[in-house]
Amino acid sequence: ILNVEQSPQSLHVQEGDSTNFTCSFPSSNFYALHWYRWETAKSPEALFVMTLNGDEKKKGRISATLNTKEGYSYLYIKGSQPEDSATYLCAPRYGNKLVFGAGTILRVKS
Amino acid sequence: SAVISQKPSRDICQRGTSLTIQCQVDSQVTMMFWYRQQPGQSLTLIATANQGSEATYESGFVIDKFPISRPNLTFSTLTVSNMSPEDSSIYLCSVESGGAGGYTFGSGTRLTVV
């Protein structure tokens, strides 16, 4: 059984704070690392697909890094906004299957 | 990327009954994936459905409990059979969504079994 761990489990921050989450996973035989943002009653939204060839991605205020050798990834949000409130999921891909962590719940207070 | 329509969005069901969840994709896809998220747990893969062949189930999931149909390249159903309160979960379908290697998800079915 592949164990994907995300921390912290939840996070409450003030608007404007910067924050980061961690995802650790077995590094052997993984193909890519996916980050998703999931709001209640909506579809999980793809943030990043990080492949073995790349170690950093950025989209607006959100960025992610990947350490393929040791099997961990960080997701950073700069200047958090209330609309960033969601559950953030990481999922390494092994073959054609995604294995999800339990997620980090982010709540941003205005 | 692909767009998925998933129905129903939520349901409350009596124990012992069955519920069928549908996913319609706006383009043809080879594989469709079905996931479950029980309260407080990770999204877990139930099975992979290919058109024209039987679905491949992950460890801990069986066809009798979660029968899947895949009649064509744009549609699939998952049935949760003989439900018990432990089946209360969010169920999601997913497909690969293009060259970047990402996946697209349906909006989920929130199931409560009473």
**Is the CB of A96 inside 8 Å of chain B's CB atoms?**
yes
Chain A contact set for B42 (CB, 8 A): 4, 100-103
Q: What is the pLDDT of residue A99?
A: 95
B61-95 confidence digits (pLDDT tens): 999 999 999 999 999 999 999 999 999 999 999 99
The average pLDDT across B32-39 equals 96
B101 pLDDT above the threshold of 80:
no
For an interface test with A, which of B92, B94, B105, B111 has the most A Cβ atoms less than 10 Å from its Cβ?
B105
Closest chain B CA to residue A88 = B42
Pairing of strands A104-109, A10-14: parallel
Closest chain B CA to residue A31 = B101
* Regions of chain A with pLDDT less than 50: none
Q: SS3 string of chain B?
A: CCCEEEECCEEEECCCCCEEEEEEECCCCCEEEEEEECCCCCCEEEEEEECCCCCEECCCCCCCCCCEEEEECCEEEEEECCCCHHHCEEEEEEEECCCCCCEEECCCEEEEEC
Q: What is the pLDDT of residue B98?
A: 66
Cβ separation of B107 and A42 shorter than 8 Å? yes
Q: What is the pLDDT of residue B100?
A: 66
B111 pLDDT above the threshold of 70:
yes
Q: What is the pLDDT of residue A1?
A: 73
Tokens of A103: 């997620």
Question: How much is the mean pLDDT over chain B?
Answer: 94
Distance CA(B4)–CA(B15), nearest Å, equals 28
Minimal Cβ distance to B100: which of A49, A89, A100: A49
The average pLDDT across B17-41 equals 96
Cβ separation of A96 and B4 shorter than 8 Å? no
